[in-house]
Amino acid sequence: MRNGVIAFRRDGTLALMNDEAYRIFGLKASEGDVGRPFADVLRERQEIIRVLSGAFELSHLPNRAELRLKELDRVIGYTLSQVRDDGGVPIGAVMFFKDLTQVEQVEERERLRDRLASLGEMAAGIAHELKNPLAGIEVMAGLLRRQVPDSKDAQSLLADILSEAKLANAIVVEMLEFVRPVRLQVERTDLGEVIQQSVTMAESKVNRGDIAVLTSVEPGLPMIESDHHQLSQVFTNLIANAFEAMNGKGRIMISAMTAVIEADPAFAGIHPPTPAVLIEVADDGPGIPGDLTDRIFNPFFTTKVTGTGLGLAIVRKIVDAHDGRIDVSSTPDTGTRFRVTLPVSSASGWFK
Ligand SMILES: Nc1ncnc2c1ncn2[C@@H]1O[C@H](COP(=O)(O)OP(=O)(O)OP(=O)(O)O)[C@@H](O)[C@H]1O
Ligand SMILES: [Mg+2]
């Protein structure tokens, strides 16, 4: 990762600012920048001006401090030091900095992964322990049903017991599915086919009612290297969520098109963007309240009475295993749009 450098003289005029600095600050270099007051050149970045302005006032200059550039949604790590002449008089200052945004995102992902790993072990243990007693309940309720063929009340109670036990079992199976490490069986996959199957599977899980489902697959969309079965699960979960949110009416638009995944900004220009496909699942349902969008991918986060909250956690896990990206944008009352970007061929091998 390259460093940004910015240097200025005691009188506040800019002495140097390298390309990386312009890039990180999201500014365009222009001819006369050097020699102009830095506060002028950086006027769109007030946070930086504030830091630089303190260069001659603070007795202790920050070494390895962090600064969040709110408008750019970027974090930089920086060191600020004075430049002195032979007599020790400050004649200028220089700031070295790095774009930490990517680093922060990676760390965040790692923290999440660790948390999920220990949570996963626990959940796997519990799920495993629950499987046997649940199977016992099912079998015994079935036996009892045969012993009281004539009692209507008992039959209906036993039917309830059986269906509740089945529901509990389904949760256990889903939980085990979630905690199991993803192992991809990669094959050349036709996304049009995956989408079609996912619609059918979502319909069998959730009542579709009068919801219209429109799909549009860009002609000539490349086949991708992926795990067909697991990708179907991704789109089944997204479509099932939309069905559940929309309550039997409205429209879901599923579209697939060619796209690219941009390289890490620090390497842009060195690594070309990766060829990819983008699949969007957009509904015109009630949307997700803004304060919840950060949490919907968390395991066990649900707003539904009978939900386990694992659907999107599994989705994210599978997309990650494909080196893909997923994001969501949602406006209350207008709808929700999930965007899944998958590389045409996965860089990091076939098994994870
Ligand atoms: N298309 C959507 N529209 C509105 N809200 C949504 C949509 N998709 C997901 N959500 C919200 O995200 C939450 C989490 O979804 P997720 O699929 O992880 O769990 P769930 O559907 O509640 O349960 P499960 O999928 O395990 O049965 C949902 O409870 C719902 O509040
Ligand atoms: Mg769901």
Q: What pLDDT digit, counting tens, does each position of 45-103 carry?
A: 999 999 999 898 877 777 788 899 988 888 899 999 999 999 989 999 999 999 888 88
Give the residue, by CA position, lying nearest to ligand 1 atom 20. 309
Minimum-distance ligand to the CA of 242?
1
| Ligand 2 center–CA 288 separation, angstroms | 13
Give the residue, by CA position, lying nearest to ligand 1 atom 12. 296
| Ligand 1 center–CA 82 separation, angstroms | 53
Q: Residue 209 forms beta bridges with which residues?
A: none
Choosing from 302, 305, 310 the residue with most ligand 1 atoms within 8 A of its CB, the one to mutate for a pocket test is: 302
Ligand 1 atom closest to residue 303's alpha carbon, by position in its atom list: 29
307 in contact with ligand 1, CB cutoff 6 A: yes
351: confidence class by pLDDT, cuts 50, 70, 90: very low
| Ligand 2 center–CA 208 separation, angstroms | 14
Least confident stretch, 115-124, 136-145, 199-208:
115-124
The CA distance from 8 to 82, in Å, is: 10
Taking CA 78 as the corner, what is the angle to CA 271 and CA 98, rounded to the nearest 5 degrees? 0
Residue 1: its pLDDT value, please? Answer: 61
Q: What pLDDT digit, counting tens, does each position of 256-313 carry?
A: 999 988 776 666 666 778 899 999 999 999 999 988 998 999 888 999 988 889 899 9
pLDDT over 90 at 125, yes or no? no
Task: Specify the amino acid at residue 106.
Answer: V
Taking CA 118 as the corner, what is the angle to CA 112 and CA 124, rounded to the nearest 5 degrees? 120
288 in contact with ligand 1, CB cutoff 6 A: yes
308 in contact with ligand 1, CB cutoff 6 A: yes
296 in contact with ligand 1, CB cutoff 6 A: yes
348: confidence class by pLDDT, cuts 50, 70, 90: very low
If we measure between CA atoms, which residue out of 24, 5, 6, 17 comes closest to residue 268?
24
195 in contact with ligand 1, CB cutoff 6 A: no
Q: Under 8 Å CB-to-CB from 349, ≥6 apart: which residues?
A: none
| Ligand 1 center–CA 301 separation, angstroms | 8
Residue 349: its pLDDT value, please? Answer: 43
| Ligand 2 center–CA 336 separation, angstroms | 14
Pairing outcome for strands 251-261 and 212-217: parallel
Residue 261: its pLDDT value, please? Answer: 85
User: Which strand (E) or helix (H) includes residue 65?
Assistant: strand 65-69
> Which pairs from 82-90 meet CB under 8 Å and 24+ separation?
82/55, 82/56, 83/7, 90/10, 90/56
User: Which two structure tokens, joined as six digits, stand for 267?
Assistant: 């390497």
301 in contact with ligand 1, CB cutoff 6 A: yes
Residue 267: its pLDDT value, please? Answer: 61
pLDDT over 50 at 350, yes or no? no
| Ligand 1 center–CA 48 separation, angstroms | 40
Mean pLDDT of 326-342: 94
346: confidence class by pLDDT, cuts 50, 70, 90: low
| Ligand 1 center–CA 303 separation, angstroms | 7
> Which pairs from 104-111 meet CB under 8 Å and 24+ separation?
104/75
Choosing from 296, 308, 319, 329 the residue with most ligand 1 atoms within 8 A of its CB, the one to mutate for a pocket test is: 296
Minimum-distance ligand to the CA of 178?
1
241: confidence class by pLDDT, cuts 50, 70, 90: very high
Residue 171: its pLDDT value, please? Answer: 84
The CA distance from 252 to 285, in Å, is: 9
Q: Output the CA torsion sign for 17, 23, 25, 28.
A: positive
